[in-house]
Chains A and B, each alone.
Chain A
């Protein structure tokens, strides 16, 4: 077939369509590679390097999330070089950032046998930024995956309120001159929160409940519905704890939203819970 590429992954011959990434091909072959910064609805940022694989003939390892397969390509997803690089990536990240709400990073550490404690040194520890009513920024947890920047920018929201500033170890997400979010261009759609893999961006309600020890994943039920604000028809998932909505997301596979919402859909749900109170007056 003219539109297919035949290549080898870990000794297995696989045939996939042109334009398939090594990551997708490896998943199809049953040899998935770990990812941190990759997100199904965002262009690959290539930043975390957790997904690196060995490609025969390539001097360095290759990011599987972005590299497209080529005919005859020979890929190894678990060679010694690959495993060493992945383990060091996990150790470096976990030695600098708080991974407690980052299941993908915790899994990478576990799967690679990482020992972040072997690296002392500077960390990302810093005060929580609590400057608006809708979400909290706890950058001690940030791994600089670029997802929030991409979602805020031309990958979803086209608001461009945040960007990476600074360089090297001091590179960080910034709304411009270290401004508080209400002073920035932020429109509070919360799509950055939706794509954050580490809890560095977290809805205020969830943050508060977690702070109070009241957040209980096991007790949360979800209800899918359609947003009632306008005629677009965004799919919503209401996360309910003790008969209160504590979080609103959109299914990543929803054809309208791809997981993205606006400020009303994501955050303006209080009226649902205030009807009863209003009726009692």
Chain B
């Protein structure tokens, strides 16, 4: 088992201690960053091929480079800890197990792009994480100039899933309604208060800290060539050992369900029906597909799926998948901000069609789903029908 992001359980050093920070190698990471200089840091992050772990898998080095080269003297970095995707709890586990990793990554990001203010947007339902991070801010006294030069600002999410979308998150920090903005301009061009802004998922920043604590070559030693490193997978539902597991990118899916070190086998009836991978906005994989699939975006593409946030919700053969689709639809109808028509009315119609008494017209549902995917403003509306569309593509799940 590979353990990079998640510290060993036997670690006895106090969670927020300087000793622990050093033991994790993050003192080296900040020293290395300072030695490399901003451009060198971006080169390392680019060479390590880190991609965003929040779901979009955008190359992190590319994002930083585009912010670093803007002429605006004011730039911002944001840690997106508004983890709200259904079945996703890996950032919570990561932050409660190793808050220093993401924080160190955030300081490195700020240094690389030239930001003096770092924002942490923390899910409102994670008060213990919020308290932990506030306590951690004291590190500026001893962690060296890269941390000391920064001002940290902690914002608590107000309970809207949509606020995790990066442009809605910007609006939320600015005190506005968390409605997504149209892209382009991207936050890297016009973000917080219209200044170039780097927004990264918690896990992405933890990966950055690891790269700087070691080197790109070390980082690339696990995972796949196109997606190096490890991924935190949140396994929930009908498995014997639900939890967050760290696996190399490209790791086979099956052992994550079955291996005693991971999921430990199918729970419930003991017979796997399907896995919803990527959260509510995710894709169904049938039991047969789960036997072959590997956990990286390149290989999941063959199934029309992606890792997303790294959620795997497991369902045994007693579960009525159609009812799950109805619940997923209810979730999105509740969480839609209501800004654009395909999402505002489309999510409502999906609920009606999926939970009503009438047998729905699959063709009509597919057209609605495809229109939502194609024409919604942001990822919420675009992916709200994803589970349904993947169900329609898999007659094996129909009953």
Contact = CB atoms under 8 A, between A and B. Distances in A.
Interface of A: 44, 46-50, 52, 60-61, 63, 66-67, 81, 84-85, 87-89, 92-93, 95-96, 118-122, 143-144, 163-164, 166-171
Nearest to B338: A171
A89 B341 contact: yes
A81 B336 CA distance: 23
B364 A118 contact: yes
Contacts, number: 111
Contacts of B340: 46-49
26 contacts: A49-B342, A49-B377, A60-B374, A63-B182, A63-B377, A81-B370, A84-B367, A84-B370, A84-B374, A85-B342, A85-B371, A85-B374, A89-B375, A93-B341, A95-B345, A143-B341, A144-B341, A144-B344, A164-B177, A164-B179, A166-B338, A167-B336, A168-B333, A168-B337, A169-B336, A171-B338
Contact of B348 (A61, A81, A169): A169
B352 interface: yes
B374 A168 contact: no
The 6 closest A-B pairs by CB, nearest first: A171-B338, A88-B371, A92-B345, A169-B348, A168-B336, A85-B375
A49 B374 CA distance: 10
B192 to A, nearest CB: 19
Contacts of A44: 182
Nearest to B185: A68
Interface string B310-344: 00000000000000000000000111111111101
Contacts of B349: 92, 95, 119, 121
B346 interface: yes
A67 B349 CA distance: 28
Main secondary structure of the interface of B (DSSP, over half): helix
A167 B335 contact: yes
Contacts of B346: 88, 92
Contacts of A46: 182, 339-340, 377
Contacts of A50: 341
A122 B367 contact: no
Given A60-B374, A81-B374, A88-B371, A169 B345 contact: yes
Given A88-B367, A89-B342, 5 more contacts: A61-B374, A63-B182, A66-B182, A67-B184, A121-B348
B338 A122 contact: no
A61 B338 CA distance: 19
B109 interface: no
Instruction: Give the interface centre of B342, B346, B364 by most chain A CB atoms within 10 Å.
Output: B342
Given A84-B367, A122-B352, A144-B338, A168 B375 contact: no
Interface string B357-383: 000000010011011111111000010
Contacts of A143: 341
B345 A93 contact: yes
Contact of A122 (B348, B368, B371): B348
B374 A52 contact: yes
Given A60-B374, A61-B374, A169-B348, A92 B341 contact: yes
B347 interface: yes
